[in-house]
Structure 1
Amino acid sequence: MNAQQLDPVSVAVALASVLFGPALAAIIGPYAVILISATVGAAWALGRRDPAAKLSAAWYFLRLNATAILITVSIAKLAGIWLGVADHSWMLAPIALVVGGVGDDWPVVGRWLVAAAGRIFERRAGGDGGVQ
């Protein structure tokens, strides 16, 4: 008996294959999951912002969804290589959710990542952290 895949990407591909056929569904399904996940994340991020006009909120969603569509697959592939996982499609939804959820706080996340990388580099280099 074949084990059915119930991850969001497999479900989206199965649903899209009914509408678009199997060849197109393999492309549309993963990006549908990315778009839905990024939209949910953007909704959480929008809740942290000051109340804004409808046009501003629409622009916010469009900007975060476009960012997620452009970078999620690449991040998932890199994470899959780093983790040694051949099938990275299961990571698309959580990565897109995080991309949307971070919202306008990417500069803060970037500073945190640089500081964390600096601490790791310092530990590996045998630094004492400037303590004398």
Structure 2
Amino acid sequence: MPSGVDPVVGLAQVLAVFVGASTAAVIAPHLVVVIAGAAGGVLGLMSWRACSTWEGIRYVMGMCALAWLFTGSAAELITLYVHVEDKRLVTPVALLIGWVGHRWPAVGKWAGRLAKASAEAALRGGKS
């Protein structure tokens, strides 16, 4: 198991006491993503509408699932533009995915407008 100051490594070392080193090395990255997604989900929940306790729990659980599904791909995509190891981006990306939460449709619309503007600018620049 690698050593260093990393939440995944730290959690793996703690889990190794209970489940063994090889199992902990497999479980720890997923558990860190879920915990960071939950923390982000709680932050996103603060700006959501007034809700019951169960609605809040479902919201946070949904953000955990969303973070668990998309964190690895998003971290890989970011490393194409920012030269940082993708394992260092896993926790902040999971937190960010959870934090954006219910605002993902607005983020998608913004990204679509940005892509459209970039494509139009490229087409105009090519015809000049």
Alignment TM-score, normalising by the size of structure 1:
0.82
Alignment of 1:1-132 (within 5 A): 4-83=3-82, 85=84, 87-127=85-125
Amino acid paired to 1:120:
S
Structure 2 unaligned regions, length at least 5? none
**Count of aligned pairs:** 125
Decide which structure has greater helix share. Answer: 2
CA contact (8 A) 2:48 2:102 kept: no
- Quick one: distance in 2 between partners of 1:13 and 1:73? 18
CA contact (8 A) 2:41 2:101 kept: yes
Instruction: State percent identity of aligned pairs.
Output: 29
CA contact (8 A) 1:13 1:26 kept: yes
Structure 1 unaligned regions, length at least 5? none
CA contact (8 A) 1:8 1:90 kept: no
Change (3 A) 1:80 1:20: farther
Amino acid paired to 2:108:
G
Shift of 1:97: 0.5
- Quick one: distance in 1 between partners of 2:4 and 2:111? 34
Range moving further from structure 2, 73-82 or 50-59: 73-82
